[in-house]
A = this chain, B = another copy of it.
Amino acid sequence: MQDQSKKIAELEALLFIHGEPIEINKIEKILGLVSGEGEPLVNQFSEELRASGRGLRLVFDGEKTQMVTKPEFAKILEDFVKEELSADLTPAGLEALSIISYLGPISRSRLEYLRGVNSMFTLRSLMLRGLIARAQDPKRANAYLYRASFDLFKHLGIGGPKELPGYEKFNSLVKKFEAPQEQEVMVSGPLPTVVTDEKNAS
């Protein structure tokens, strides 16, 4: 077995055993790769899975990757797997989930600015359903950034955020739009406005 294909075989075995999404730098550590070697390896494996008539594929969000079944086999497997995500989305949930998916990682205050409404409970219910994930904001203590979860990508049958319909278009449109005004402004009005909770306030 050649060195590169041995590494891919190891990567496959690792993803198979672990099951959950796993960080690229963790993969590098376990497989004894040089830093920076992980991502091309993942991309190569992903490509091989797509090119060959395999039943599996990779989901990759730029940081973590996970091995999943291909969406075209959903029908055969659905009886086998308990799907918890398929319940309907509420209007507020859909609105918030779209903004987070296309513009994430995004802070709660930014999301609330865009929607004009306090989104604490909407975020909570999306997190309880596992559709979004949060991580510490590296720039602000005690604040979180929200992003689409692997479970959402799995559920939608896509390989990562970039496969969301029109992702590049919406993402760059909004980024371009936002650029001149660097605002983390909350609705500031005379009457009750979006209320910042301590955790999110800088």
Residues of B within 8 A of A84 (CB): 18
Decide yes or no whether A77 CB sits under 8 A from chain B. Answer: yes
Are the CB atoms of B54 and A12 closer together than 8 Å?
yes
Residues of B within 8 A of A8 (CB): 53, 55
Minimum CB–CB distance from A152 to chain B (whole Å) comes to: 12
A117 in contact with B127 given A55-B10, A73-B10, A76-B13 (CB within 8 Å): yes
A124 in contact with B116 given A10-B55, A17-B77 (CB within 8 Å): yes
Please, how many angstroms separate the alpha-carbon atoms of A16 and B53 in the complex?
A: 15
Are the CB atoms of A9 and B77 closer together than 8 Å?
no
Instruction: Pick the residue among B53, B79, B127 that contacts A1 (CB under 8 A).
Output: B53
Residue in A1, A53, A121, A127 whose Cβ sees the most chain B Cβ within 10 Å: A53
Are the CB atoms of B10 and A76 closer together than 8 Å?
yes
Size of A's binding interface in residues, CB under 8 A: 45
Are the CB atoms of B16 and A55 closer together than 8 Å?
yes
- Who on chain B is nearest to A20 by CB? B121
Are the CB atoms of B124 and A118 closer together than 8 Å?
no
Minimum CB–CB distance from A93 to chain B (whole Å) comes to: 13
Residue in A10, A30, A55 whose Cβ sees the most chain B Cβ within 10 Å: A55
Instruction: Pick the residue among B12, B54, B69 that contacts A55 (CB under 8 A).
Output: B12
Please, how many angstroms separate the alpha-carbon atoms of A20 and B129 in the complex?
A: 16
Residues of B within 8 A of A31 (CB): 76
- Per-residue B-contact encoding for A116-128, CB less than 8 Å = 1, 0 else: 1110110010011
Are the CB atoms of B77 and A13 closer together than 8 Å?
yes
- Per-residue B-contact encoding for A61-91, CB less than 8 Å = 1, 0 else: 0000001011001001101110010000000
Are the CB atoms of A73 and B9 closer together than 8 Å?
yes
Minimum CB–CB distance from A9 to chain B (whole Å) comes to: 4
- Given contacts A9-B54, A30-B80, A120-B130, 4 further A-B pairs with CB under 8 A are A1-B53, A12-B56, A18-B84, A112-B128
